[in-house]
Amino acid sequence: MKSFYITKYDKTSPLKFGDLPIPDISADQVLVEMHYASLNPIDFKIKHGDLKMVLPMKFPLILGNDGSGIVSKIGKNVKHFKVGDEVYLRPDKNSGIGTLAEFIAVGEDELASKPKNLSLEEAASIPLVGLTVWQIYERAGLKKGQKVFIQAGSGGVGTFAIQLAKYLGAEVATTASPKSFEMLQHLGADILIDYKTQNFEDLLKDYDLVLNTQDEETLLKSMKILKPGGKIISISVVPDEQFAIDSGVNWLVKFVIKMRSAKVIKEARKRQVDYSFLLMHSSRKQLEEITSIIEEGKIKPVIDKVFPFNETNEAMNYLESGRAKGKVLVKIR
């Protein structure tokens, strides 16, 4: 099968393109014929080796962390799917294969039937960002009337996070460039801050939750806007000690993470706020709950560009440039 993959961690070389074997499936797995893959920042972070301490990978490694397709084959123990079903999926880190390939083998808990009101293209944009935001709001206990600050609202995570926060009844502030303001207002954002000319930490206060998708400097600034007891959850920088424990890494990695996060933890304690790092996990049940909300018409996909399969490296470069407004997809077939 045609695939885009890497054979080592590399910050500069393009993904390799070539034939790799169609994966065999176990009794509990599903073989999906991929139609669309969604690209996310975790793809280039994995490629660069930024996550190798906590997400060790085997090579050759096919990249791509979510997408959509059609069930091609099922294992004898599979109960929830049949051949021909249209699905969207987020492979678990243990699957060892990505969505930038013509086929992928995944466990039954790593996919769900796509929303009936979405095309395969639209559905491909949802799983990783949807599960990430769902798990952040679940951890934070976000509820009606609370205030949430979502950094970089026009990105893939941001556009979904705004819509789900409004569905839950929260007030939303976000940063973006003015050219994205109209779109973000349409998605439900209440307060829009120009990240180039305004300092959000001077404009916001007494927030219940911050969703951090940016660098450590922005993370530390964001603590200033939280009320005592507020929560800041990051998906981009500074894993914390609890994350290391939950990930089951060895003692040396735990020590490195503890030292690396010391400054952030100290600042969080000083300001009496709760800091944690989240790396989302696959969940069919949560994807099905997201599906229900999408089928109600409460959340709509936001897609920036769709690249043909043979331009996957161009798609990766575009994503890494930071210019995307919404999701970047690759059309595989």
Domains of the chain by start residue, with CATH: 2-126+302-331 (3.90.180.10), 128-277 (3.40.50.720)
DSSP annotation of 22: P
pLDDT at 249: 80
Query: Tens of pLDDT along 114-165?
Result: 999 999 999 999 999 999 999 999 999 999 999 999 999 999 999 999 999 9
Query: Tens of pLDDT along 99-127?
Result: 999 999 999 999 999 999 999 999 999 99
Q: How far apart are CA 23 and CA 1, in angstroms?
A: 9
pLDDT at 30: 97
pLDDT at 56: 80
Q: Label each residue of 214-280 as H, E or C.
A: CCHHHHHHHHHHEEEEEEEEECCCCCCHHHHHHHCCCHHHHHHHHHHCHHHHHHHHHCCCEEEECCC
pLDDT at 253: 85
pLDDT at 93: 73
pLDDT at 32: 98
Q: How far apart are CA 160 and CA 302, in angstroms?
A: 8
For residue 166, pLDDT over 90 is answered with yes
pLDDT at 94: 65
| Separation of CA 45 from chain center | 12
Query: Tens of pLDDT along 219-258?
Result: 999 999 999 999 999 999 888 888 888 878 888 888 988 8
For residue 95, pLDDT over 80 is answered with no
Which residue reads 């003692």 in tokens? 251
Q: Which residue has the higher pLDDT, 77 or 58?
A: 77
| Least trusted range by pLDDT, from 68-72, 97-101, 308-312 | 97-101
